[in-house]
Amino acid sequence: MSASSASKPWLRIYVPLTCYFVFMFVPFYWMLLTTFKADHELLTTPNPWWIFHPTFKHVVDLVAGTQYLHWFANTLLVSVGATALSVAVSFLAAYAIVRLRFPGSKTLSAAIFFAYLVPPAILFLPLANVLIALHWFDKLWALIPIYTTFLVPFCTWLLSGFLRTLPRELEEAGRVDGASHFQIMTRIVLPLAKPGLISSTIFCFTLSWNEYLYALVYMFSSANKTITVGLTTELIRGDVFQWGQLMAGALLGTLPVIIIYFFFVEHYVSGMAGALKD
Amino acid sequence: MAEAAPALAARTPTLFERLRRAADTPAVLGPLLAAPAVGLLAALVAYPLVFGVWLGLTSATLGNAGHFVGLANFTALFADPTYRAATFYSILYTVGSEALKLSIGLALAMVLNQRFRGYRAARSLMLLPWVAPTVLAVLAWQWLLDPQFSGISWLFERLGLIHHAINFLGTEWNARVSLIVVNVWRGVPYFAIGFMAGLQSIPAELLEAAAIDGAGGWASFRHIIWPLLAPLTTILVCFSSIWTITDFQLIWTMTQGGPVNGTQVFTTLAYQRAIPSGNLGQGAAIAISTLPFMIVLAYFALRAMREK
Amino acid sequence: MRSLDRREFLVGTGAVAATAAGVLLDTAGAQAAAYTPMFTPESGAKLQLLRWSGFVKSDEAAWNANTQLFTKLTGIPVEVQYLSWTDVSPKAALSAQVNSGPDIVMGWYDAPFIYPDKLVDVSDLANYLGHDGGGWYPVSREYGYDTKERRWIAVPIGVAGAAAVYRKSWVEQAGFHEFPKNLGGLLKLSKALKKNGHPCGLALGHAVGDANTWAHSLLWGFGGKQVNPDGSVAINSPQTVHALEYAKELYETMIPGVSSWLDPSNNKAFLAGDISWTINGISIWVVAKESFPQIFADTINAPIPMGPVNRPTPFNLFTQAFIFKYSSYPKAAKEYLRFMLERKQADAWVTAMNGYVTPAARGYRSLPVWTSNPNVTPYRDAMVGELSDGFAGAPGKEAATALNDFIVVDMFADACVNDMPPKQAIQRAENRLKAIYG
C-alpha cells in the first residue's frame, strides 16, 4: 500500500467492501422482499425492490400451516449428530496420522482425501445398496453416518494441519511423566486443539444443515423430512411455487447458522489459521 | 503420576495391563484411532465407489445388473454430442468460477484482515452465501435473473443503461456466465475465510520488515505474501474445484442444463442419463470420466499439503 | 369377480367419498363386514405409497380420505408420501435398484418401462379398471402395457392436461372472436397480438413439462416424429422442417427470454399480464381465481389448435401407478389401487383435483366437474389424440433418454433462438438421437 492510499481507509476498505456486500446481499434482500410480499405484488409492482403492502401471511402459513418446526427439529438433530460424529472420528484419525505417525499413516491420509472425489449425485445410488444391507433406510439418524462421507475428509485435513502445529515437546513431556499416548491425546492435546475443533464443527454444521440430496432420497416418511426437503416437497406444487413461504423458510432456516457464525467467526478463522501455520 | 509409574513396574503386569501397554505404541494405537474414520469411509464411500466404477464398465440399467462391456460406455460417450457439450461447460464452469472466486476471495480477505469499524460484523456477514441452503438461495437468483421479473434488469432500465431486459439465462453464453456468477457468489466466502486464515498465519514481522525495506503494496504482496499463500491457494482451489465439479443442485435448479445443453455439466448429464432415463452404466461412466480431473487435483492438493 | 355384496357396498363408499367423508365414516365400519376384496390381501399387510404432491391441496385431502376409508374397511394401514412431481423419479429409480422402498409408486412417462422386470403383473387390475372406467384411451395402454412380455405393468391414471390459456379482451382486440382451432389461425392471431404489444410465451428452456408439451405437440401436428415404430431415427423429414419453420415464425411473436423458461415461468408471466396466451395446465386459471382477480376475469382456456394433420396431437405429462415385486404385500397393493382408482372412489378424487388431472379412461368425461365451468372443459379432452413420448416408437429407456435429454425441445430452441436453419437443427437432433437409439 502506498502511503497516500493507506491514509484513505474508505478507498482501501469501505469501497471494495461495499461492492462485495451489495453483490452478496442482493439475493438475501430479494428473499426478504419475497417473504413479505403478497402474491400479486410479487408479479405486478411499480418497483420490485420495495414492498408496498407488506404481509405476514407467508410466515404464518409456513409456521402454522406446514410441519416447518418439525423439519427444523429434524435438521437440528441430524446436523448436531453428524457434526459431533465427524469431528470426533476426524480428530482421532488426525491425531493418529499426525502425532503418532504409525507406518502407513501417509497413505491413509491420502486415502481419506480421495474419499472426497465421488460426486454425491452418483454416489447415492450404490450407497443405497449399503444402506439397505444395514437396514438404515428411512431412519432419520442414519443421515448422521451418511453425512460423514463428505465431512470427515475435510475435517481430517483441517485437524491434521492444526495438530501438526502443536510442539512435539508436549508428548515428550507427557511420556516422561508416564502418561500413555491416549492420555496425552485426551488430557494435553485435546484442550489445545480447541480452535481447530471449533473450525471443523462450524464447517460440518453448515454443510449438514444445508444438505439436500441424501435427505431427499434416503428418507421416506414425512416425519423424517429436513428443512430443505420439507420446503421443496411441500411448497412446490407442479408449476406453482409458494414463493413467499419458500423464501421465508430459507431465511428462517439460515438464521441459526448465521448466529453461530456471528459468535464464532473469530475462532473459525484462527482455527483455520492454526491449521495453516508452518 | 510420576510416583505411580515405579509402583506399576514393580508388580507383575496382568493380561489387561499388558494389552494396554501394547496398545500404547504408535504402531498399534495409530490404526486403532484411525479405524472409525476409515471404517465409515470404507463402508460408505469406498465400496460404493468401486461399485460405481464397475457399473461404468457394464450395460447395467436401473434394476438390471447388465453384463461387462469393457469400455463400450466410454467410446459411446465420446461420440455423443451431448457429452461433448457437458465436457466443454464442466471445464469452463470450473476454471471460470475458480479463477474468479480465488481473486475476489483473496481481495476480500486482504480487506477484512484489517481492523476497522464493524470488522467483526463484516467478517461473519460475508459468510451468508456460503451458509444459506443452496437449493433455496438459487430460487432467489432465479428471480434476479428472470427474463421478465429481474430486479436487476428493472434497475438498469431505470438508470437508462439498457433498453430491454437482459436475457440472463436465455442464450447459451449468457447462461454460462450467469451460472458462474452464482457459483462465485456462493463460493467466495470459503476462499475469503481460507485466505484470512492464511494471512493471519503470516508473521507480522515479515510484513513489517517489508514495509521498512520500502516495498510498496504490490511488491510486498507479490514477493512476500503471495509466495507464502501459494500452497494454501492450491489446497483451497483443489477442495473448491472438487465441490464445483461434483456440484449438481445449482445448475439443475437454475437451467437443468439448458438452453440447448449450453450449461450441461458432467453431474447433470450423469444424473439425467442414470436416474430418470435408467441408463445406469452410462451415467456411471460419465461420473467416472470426471475422476481423471479429480485425481490431478487431488495430486496437487496432496503435494501442497506435504509442502506445508 | 364382482359379488353382489361388494357392488352394494361400493354404492355406499362412492357416496362417502363424494360427500363429507368424515360424517359417514362411522357407517363404513358396519359395512366392513360386507366388504369383499377383489384381491385377498395378505394377512398383516401394510402399504407404503409414493406419489407426487397434489397440484391442489384438495387432491391430497380427497386421496387421504379415500385411503383412510380403505384402512377402515380392510384394516390395512397405508402410509402415503407426497413428493414434488420431479422428485418421484429418482426415488422410484432408487427403489428399483435396491429392491426396497415403497410398495406402490405413482410415476411419470416411461418410468415402468425402464425397470419392467421389477414390476408386478397388474393385467387383471388394469383390465378391470379399464372396464370400470369406460375404456382406456389408446395412449393409456401404451404407458401401461408391456408389449414384449404381453402384460400390464402399470395402471394408467391420467395426464396433467394442457390447454391454451389466453386473454379474452386482447384476442378480441386483435380481431378474433374465439381462439383459433388450427395452427394457421394461431400464427395470424399471434402476429396481430404482437403488433398490439401483447406477445405470447411458450417455454423453450429445459422445462420438463411446459417445453416438452408444446414442442412435441407441434412436431406431431405437422406429421413429424422422432423415430419409426421399429426404433430407427426418423426426425429428419420435411414434416419436421415445416414444424420448425412454423415455430420460428411463432417465436418472433413471443416475449423475449422464453429460451430460459422453466415450468413456473409462463405462469408468472401470464399472471403478471405480460403475455397474451400460453399453453399450460389449469394451474394458471386456478391461481388467477385465487389471487389475481383482474387477470382471472379476462382469462379463457381453449383447446390447443390443431396442425396440418387435422387432429389433436397433444403431449401431456402422463402418470401411472405400479407395484414393485419386492413388495411383501402385492395383493394388498393391488386391492388398494383397485379401491382407490375404481370410479366409485376415484370420481370424488378426480373432482377434487378440479381439472388438474385428466383420467386415462373415457368414462370420466361425464363427470360434472368438466362442465362446471367452460374453462375446465378443454382439460377434459386432454387425452384425446394424446401420443406417447418417443412417438412413433414405444416407451422405454431410449424414449426416456431422448425426453430427459430434451432433444426435441433443443431442436426447436436451436431453430428459434439460435437462428439455426431448420436442416441444421434437425441434423443436430438426429445425431443426438442416433447416439441414443443406436
For chain C, list the domains and their CATH numbers: 4-160+316-371 (3.40.190.10), 163-315+405-437 (3.40.190.10)
- Cβ–Cβ of C259/B170 closer than 8 Å? yes
Residue A199: exposure state from Cβ atoms within 10 A (0-12, 13-18, ≥19): buried
**The 3-state secondary structure of C356-414, one letter per residue:** CEEECEHHHHHCHHHHCCCCCHHHHHHHCCCCCCCCCCCCCHHHHHHHHCCHHHHHHHH
The predicted structure's pLDDT at residue B215: 65
Q: Identify all chain B residues contacting A92, using CB atoms and an 8 Å cutoff.
A: 33-34, 36-37
Q: Which residue has the higher pLDDT, B246 or C144?
A: C144
- Residue A148 — very low, low, confident or very high, per pLDDT cuts 50/70/90? very high
The predicted structure's pLDDT at residue C7: 37
Phi first, then psi: what are they for A236, rounded to 5°? -115, 110
Give the separation between CA C419 and CA C431, rounded to whole angstroms: 19
My answer on whether B212 and B105 are in the same domain is yes
Residues pairing with C49 in the sheet: C80, C104
Give the separation between CA A91 and CA A107, rounded to whole angstroms: 17
The predicted structure's pLDDT at residue B1: 42
**How are beta strands C277-280 and C317-323 bridged, if at all?**
unpaired
- Cβ–Cβ of C85/A238 closer than 8 Å? yes
My answer on whether B158 and B38 are in the same domain is no
Rg (alpha carbons) of chain B, rounded to whole number: 26
Residue C398: exposure state from Cβ atoms within 10 A (0-12, 13-18, ≥19): buried
Residue C79: exposure state from Cβ atoms within 10 A (0-12, 13-18, ≥19): middle
- Residue C109 — very low, low, confident or very high, per pLDDT cuts 50/70/90? very high
Give the separation between CA B175 and CA C85, rounded to whole angstroms: 25
In this prediction, residues B33-44 reach a mean pLDDT of: 91
Residue B9 has pLDDT above 90, yes or no: no
Alpha-helical regions (H) of C108-174: 111-114, 123-132, 138-142, 168-173
Residue B16 has pLDDT above 90, yes or no: no
Say which of A128, A216, A237 has its CB closest to residue C55: A237
- Cβ–Cβ of C431/B81 closer than 8 Å? yes
Say which of C48, C273, C291 has its CB closest to residue A220: C48
- Residue C18 — very low, low, confident or very high, per pLDDT cuts 50/70/90? very low
My answer on whether B113 and B193 are in the same domain is yes
Phi first, then psi: what are they for A53, rounded to 5°? -130, 80
CB contact at 8 A, B76 and B84: no
Helix H or strand E encompassing C318: strand C317-323
The predicted structure's pLDDT at residue C145: 97
Q: Does A28 reach chain B within 8 Å, measured CB to CB?
A: yes
Residue type, A183: Q
Q: How many Å separate Cα C232 from the centre of its chain?
A: 26
Residue B41 has pLDDT above 70, yes or no: yes
CB contact at 8 A, B93 and B173: no
In this prediction, residues C313-335 reach a mean pLDDT of: 97
Would you kindly state where each structural domain of chain A is located, as residue ranges? 1-55, 57-276
Helix H or strand E encompassing C165: strand C163-167
User: Does residue B5 lie in a domain region?
Assistant: no
Q: Does A45 reach chain B within 8 Å, measured CB to CB?
A: no
For an interface test with A, the pick among C55, C57, C81 (most A C-beta atoms closer than 10 Å) comes out as C81
In this prediction, residues B24-38 reach a mean pLDDT of: 89
* B239-269: pLDDT as tens digits: 899 889 888 889 999 999 989 999 999 999 9
* B109-125: pLDDT as tens digits: 989 988 888 888 888 88
- Cβ–Cβ of B82/C418 closer than 8 Å? no
My answer on whether B44 and B189 are in the same domain is no
User: Does residue B302 lie in a domain region?
Assistant: yes
Give the separation between CA C317 and CA C139, rounded to whole angstroms: 12
CB contact at 8 A, B220 and B287: no
User: Does residue B177 lie in a domain region?
Assistant: yes
* C412-433: pLDDT as tens digits: 999 999 999 999 999 999 999 9
For an interface test with C, the pick among B47, B62, B83, B153 (most C C-beta atoms closer than 10 Å) comes out as B62
Question: How many B-C residue pairs are in contact by the CB < 8 A criterion?
Answer: 135
Residues pairing with C78 in the sheet: C47
B49: left (phi over 0), alpha (psi -120 to 50) or beta: alpha
CB contact at 8 A, C59 and C52: no
Residue C33 has pLDDT above 70, yes or no: no
My answer on whether B25 and B146 are in the same domain is no
Residue in this structure with the C-alpha cell 365400519, named with its chain if needed: C29
Residue type, A198: I
**How are beta strands C47-52 and C104-108 bridged, if at all?**
parallel
User: Does residue B301 lie in a domain region?
Assistant: yes
For domain A57-276, give the CATH superfamily.
Answer: MetI-like (1.10.3720.10)
DSSP symbols for B188-233: HHHHHHHHHHHHHTS-HHHHHHHHHTT--HHHHIIIIIHHHHHHHH
Give the separation between CA B64 and CA B75, rounded to whole angstroms: 21
> Closest by alpha carbon to B236, among B77, B139, B102?
B102
The predicted structure's pLDDT at residue C32: 57
Q: What share of chain C has pLDDT > 70, as a percent? A: 92
> Closest by alpha carbon to B267, among B241, B248, B242?
B248
Distance (Å) from the alpha carbon of B256 to chain C's nearest alpha carbon: 6
Q: Which residues contact C153 (CB under 8 A, 6 or more apart)?
A: C112, C113, C116, C119, C120, C121, C122, C144, C145, C146, C322
Q: Tell me which residues of chain A, numbers 49 to 78, contact chain B at a CB-CB cutoff of 8 Å.
A: 49
Across chain A, what does the average pLDDT equal? 87
Give the separation between CA C198 and CA B100, rounded to whole angstroms: 40
- Residue C402 — very low, low, confident or very high, per pLDDT cuts 50/70/90? very high
- Residue B4 — very low, low, confident or very high, per pLDDT cuts 50/70/90? very low
* A82-110: pLDDT as tens digits: 999 999 999 999 999 988 888 888 888 88
Q: Is B12 helix (H, G, I), strand (E, B) or coil?
A: coil
User: Which range among A233-237, B220-224, C207-211, C356-360 shows the weakest confidence by mean pLDDT?
Assistant: B220-224
Residue A200 has pLDDT above 80, yes or no: yes
My answer on whether B145 and B266 are in the same domain is yes
Distance (Å) from the alpha carbon of B81 to chain A's nearest alpha carbon: 21
* C242-262: pLDDT as tens digits: 999 999 999 999 999 999 999
**How are beta strands C104-108 and C317-323 bridged, if at all?**
antiparallel
Distance (Å) from the alpha carbon of B196 to chain A's nearest alpha carbon: 7
In this prediction, residues C362-377 reach a mean pLDDT of: 96
Residue A4 has pLDDT above 50, yes or no: no
The predicted structure's pLDDT at residue B220: 77
Q: Which chains sit next to A, with 3 or more Cβ pairs under 8 A? A: B, C
The predicted structure's pLDDT at residue C29: 52
The predicted structure's pLDDT at residue B128: 87
In this prediction, residues C363-386 reach a mean pLDDT of: 96
My answer on whether B39 and B183 are in the same domain is no
My answer on whether B131 and B265 are in the same domain is yes
> Closest by alpha carbon to C201, among B170, B138, A46, B258?
B170
Residue of chain A whose alpha carbon sits nearest to that of C91: A217
* C221-235: pLDDT as tens digits: 999 999 999 999 999
**The 3-state secondary structure of chain A, one letter per residue:** CCHHHHCCHHHHHHHHHHHHHHHHHHHHHHHHHHHHCCHHHHHCCCCCCCCCCCCCHHHHHHHHHCCHHHHHHHHHHHHHHHHHHHHHHHHHHHHHHHHHCCCCHHHHHHHHHHHHHCCHHHHHHHHHHHHHHCCCCCCHHHHHHHHHHHHHHHHHHHHHHHHHCCCCHHHHHHHHCCCCHHHHHHHHHHHHCHHHHHHHHHHHHHHHHHCCHHHHHHCCCHHHCCHHHHHHHHHEECCEECHHHHHHHHHHHHHHHHHHHHHHHHHHHHHHHHHHCC
Residue B303 has pLDDT above 90, yes or no: no
- b/e C371-385 (16+ beta carbons within 10 angstroms → b): eeeebbbbbbbbbeb
My answer on whether B22 and B169 are in the same domain is no
Residue C192 has pLDDT above 80, yes or no: yes
Count the domains in chain B: 2
- Residue B11 — very low, low, confident or very high, per pLDDT cuts 50/70/90? low
Q: Which residue has the higher pLDDT, B169 or A154?
A: B169
The predicted structure's pLDDT at residue B2: 45
Residue C352 has pLDDT above 80, yes or no: yes
In this prediction, residues A114-128 reach a mean pLDDT of: 76
Q: Is C299 helix (H, G, I), strand (E, B) or coil?
A: strand
Return the ∠ at Cα A223 (arms to A218 and A226), rounded to 5°: 60
User: Which range among A180-184, B174-178, C193-197, C357-361 shows the weakest confidence by mean pLDDT?
Assistant: A180-184
Q: Does B278 reach chain C within 8 Å, measured CB to CB?
A: yes
The alpha carbon torsion through B48, B50, B54, B55 (nearest 10 deg) reads 20
The predicted structure's pLDDT at residue C23: 42
Task: Enter the DSSP assignment of B42.
Answer: I
- Residue B296 — very low, low, confident or very high, per pLDDT cuts 50/70/90? confident
- Cβ–Cβ of B246/A212 closer than 8 Å? no
The predicted structure's pLDDT at residue C16: 40
My answer on whether B117 and B235 are in the same domain is yes
Residue C5 has pLDDT above 70, yes or no: no
User: Which range among B65-74, B236-245, C98-107 shows the weakest confidence by mean pLDDT?
Assistant: B236-245
In this prediction, residues A140-147 reach a mean pLDDT of: 95
On the CB side of A218, how many CA atoms lie within 13 Å of its CA?
31
Say which of A93, A111, A274 has its CB closest to residue B33: A93
The predicted structure's pLDDT at residue B10: 58
- Residue C13 — very low, low, confident or very high, per pLDDT cuts 50/70/90? very low
Residue in this structure with the C-alpha cell 426396497, named with its chain if needed: C100
My answer on whether B234 and B132 are in the same domain is yes
- Residue A123 — very low, low, confident or very high, per pLDDT cuts 50/70/90? confident
Q: What share of chain A has pLDDT > 90, as a percent? A: 43
Instruction: Identify the domain containing residue B107 by its residue range.
Output: 81-307
User: Does residue B62 lie in a domain region?
Assistant: no
In this prediction, residues B133-153 reach a mean pLDDT of: 92
Residue A3 has pLDDT above 50, yes or no: no
Residue B94 has pLDDT above 60, yes or no: yes
- Residue C320 — very low, low, confident or very high, per pLDDT cuts 50/70/90? very high
Q: Does B283 reach chain A within 8 Å, measured CB to CB?
A: yes
- Cβ–Cβ of A137/C271 closer than 8 Å? no
Q: Does B167 reach chain C within 8 Å, measured CB to CB?
A: yes
My answer on whether B46 and B146 are in the same domain is no
Helix H or strand E encompassing C146: strand C145-146
The predicted structure's pLDDT at residue B302: 76
Return the ∠ at Cα C223 (arms to C218 and C224), rounded to 5°: 75
- Cβ–Cβ of A130/B48 closer than 8 Å? yes
Alpha-helical regions (H) of B126-279: 128-131, 134-144, 151-158, 172-200, 204-212, 217-220, 226-246, 249-254, 266-274
Residue of chain B whose alpha carbon sits nearest to that of A21: B126
